[in-house]
A and B are shown apart, each in its own frame.
Chain A
Amino acid sequence: MSHQTDRPPAAGISRAEVAHLARLARLAVTEAELDTFAGQLDVILQAVARVGEVAAGDIPPTSHAVPLTNVLREDEPIQCLPRDEALAGAPDTVEGRFRVPRILSDEEDPG
């Protein structure tokens, strides 16, 4: 499940999978919403799965729409955003920093 290009499109999505996704995204989803979202996601997945129906076995999976490689930039600094603008969309700030609620327990701290 970790590398989705290697995996055929899902035929369906279970309530348990939706609950798992919701937990990863830290979304509080009610029991009723699990059914709703499972149904909606199923429609999306089935739409995407139709691509698999027309792609023959000799067509490799692709991740990019244009056949380009090595699009690189030179190591030249640009003008940054002024801090006021950088912080303008923040829900709250303290001393020039974004202020957010704690979201993970100690056990899940990725740092």
Chain B
Amino acid sequence: MVVRATVEPDLEDVVRRYEPMIGLEVHVELGTRTKMFCGCPTGFGAEPNTQVCPVCLGLPGSLPVANRAAIEATIRIGLALNCQVASWCRFARKNYFYPDMPKNYQISQYDEPLCTGGWLDVDVAGETGDTVRVGIERVHLEEDTGKTLHLGGATGRIHGATESLVDYNRAGIPLVEVVTRPVAGTGARAPATARAYVAALRDLVRSLGVSDVRMEQGSLRCDVNTSLAPVGAGEWGTRTETKNVNSLRSVERAVRSELIRQAAVLDRGERVVLETRHFHEEAGDSTPGRSKETATDYRYFPEPDLVPLAPDPAWVAQLRAGLPEPPREHRRRLQAAWGLSDVDMQAVLNAGAVGLVEATVAAGTTPEAARKWWLGELSRRANEAGVDLAEVGAGPADVAALQQMVDQGTLSDKLARTVLDGVLAGEGSPAEVVAARDLAVVSDSGTLIAAVEQAIAAHPEVAAKVRDGKVAAAGVLVGAVMKATGGQADARAVRELVLSRLGAA
């Protein structure tokens, strides 16, 4: 456990005295059909050791061959991050003795990464709407490791464990590592900047369609480097690397807690130790792991079993030409088209509804109506069900169809929500639900007039009051009509009809 200082400085206080520096290493598991160097499938959640072969098990005599789709995906990520693509580079062996790789080395890239020297513009959420240009040091390709399960310890981590159980299904899945340059000058917004960068990178990679980038499933993983230097010191402080940061919220919390911890260390006149720290999701803090000063010597050398990569300029140009519009530009274009303020656009972003609203508008609704559905009723339903908005059970086409029925007067707002219930319950499209549940608004004037007449006849004293100008009393009659029509009449139309029949309109 971490022993907390009795008085922790707050971040505003910290940045008055120290300058924070952050750096991020993000690992993205590519969504290729097969592994990096063999043809094993990559599906998530398969039974242990059912997606393995001699290559990814490191059996003698097997030889790796690089996956073209993984190389292309990495180049596309690099290009989208404004990087240079190497004209010639090699894979390297990273040697270490640990059972998560059966070969006793991981095939990675060392001093010859596929892509180098780019940047990503990041909009940091907040009132000022700052944009931070995060420098990208490198984008390289490696293979993921197997999953180890430690037995005998209390927590499943290695500490106290007596043995490890290993599943190599994940071993060899292509993994892209994106490393930033040090990001300075963000002050108290360092935690928000780190979070915004990871979110922006996730959106960018998702837009390329090369990974599902799901942090909760580990297809996007983040290590956070953090350091503090006294204001005006002119050099960086000693950094720590926090691992196991597995959600956007945790990225922000990990940076914040580490800046505050380091400030407390420096305030006591002590030195920050160069080390790897493990982040704890529940507590929101980290504990020290491996000291970097005794870090493993990986003995990198060029991988002799794989020939060098030399991406042809024409190939790179073709990949560049196929890049989609970057998410940030895409969002700006939509914001202008929808006429939204920054705050309103941020609400759409926060709800994860940009693509859904866009598709709903494309299906024929106004931006206002699409936004109202997705940020209102559907966000509420998704929240209740504990699922992502995209998985709520109704799609853009359903929402557009519902809204069109409301616009045409076929459905009242209330009925539209009832139809939505049916859609979410899997009863079919809105039109099918309306037909099956007989839910269309009673707009046939003959039927309505008959119901109004009946209500007036049944409540003569109320009708007399309304005739005398007590319009508020009409609610009783409207209620009676709504009841008689099973709630399927448009209440406003009924009210107008009642008032006109009684000469009060």
A interface, CB within 8 angstroms of B = 1-5, 20, 24-26, 63-64, 66, 68-78, 80-81, 83, 86-87, 89, 94-111
Contact = CB atoms under 8 A, between A and B. Distances in A.
Nearest to B287: A106
B51 interface: yes
Contacts of B307: 64, 66, 68-71
Given A4-B301, A86-B49, A87-B49, A94 B90 contact: no
30 contacts: A3-B301, A24-B96, A24-B297, A63-B301, A64-B304, A64-B308, A70-B309, A71-B66, A72-B65, A74-B68, A75-B67, A75-B69, A80-B50, A81-B54, A81-B57, A83-B49, A83-B50, A86-B49, A95-B48, A97-B49, A97-B149, A97-B165, A99-B166, A100-B99, A100-B166, A101-B162, A103-B97, A107-B291, A110-B98, A111-B145
Contacts, number: 171
Nearest to A89: B59
A98 B98 contact: no
A72 B66 contact: yes
Contacts of B236: none
A102 B290 contact: no
Given A24-B297, A106-B158, A76 B34 contact: yes
B168 interface: yes
Contact of B38 (A78, A101, A110): A78
Nearest to B169: A80
A76 B54 CA distance: 16
Interface stretch (B39-47, B127-135, B429-437): B39-47
A69 B71 CA distance: 13
Contacts of B57: 81, 86
B66 A96 contact: no
Given A70-B312, A80-B50, A102-B158, 9 more contacts: A3-B111, A24-B96, A77-B40, A87-B49, A97-B166, A103-B99, A109-B157, A110-B98, A110-B296
Contacts of B162: 101-102
A47 B470 CA distance: 111
Contacts of A77: 33-34, 39-41
A100 B101 CA distance: 12
Contacts of B157: 106, 109
Contacts of B302: 5, 63-64
Contact of A75 (B32, B96, B161, B166): B32
Given A68-B307, A97-B166, A73 B110 contact: no
Contact of A99 (B69, B145, B165, B290): B165
Contacts of A111: 100, 145, 148, 158, 243
Q: What 8 A-B pairs have minimum CB-CB distances, sorted nearest first?
A: A78-B39, A63-B302, A75-B69, A97-B165, A69-B310, A72-B68, A106-B159, A98-B166
Nearest to A92: B163
A71 B63 CA distance: 12
Nearest to A25: B97
Contacts of B300: 2-3
Contacts of A24: 95-97, 296-297, 299
B152 interface: yes
Given A72-B67, A78-B53, A102 B304 contact: no
Interface string B401-441: 00000000000000000000000000000000000000000
B164 interface: yes
B52 to A, nearest CB: 5
A108 B49 contact: no
B71 A97 contact: no
Given A3-B110, A101-B162, A102-B163, A76 B39 contact: yes
A104 B495 CA distance: 78
B167 interface: yes
A1 B306 CA distance: 22
Contacts of A64: 302, 304, 307-308
Nearest to B42: A77
Contacts of B54: 81
Given A78-B53, A98-B168, A107 B48 contact: no
Contact of A80 (B33, B53, B67, B165): B53
Nearest to A84: B49
A25 B298 CA distance: 11
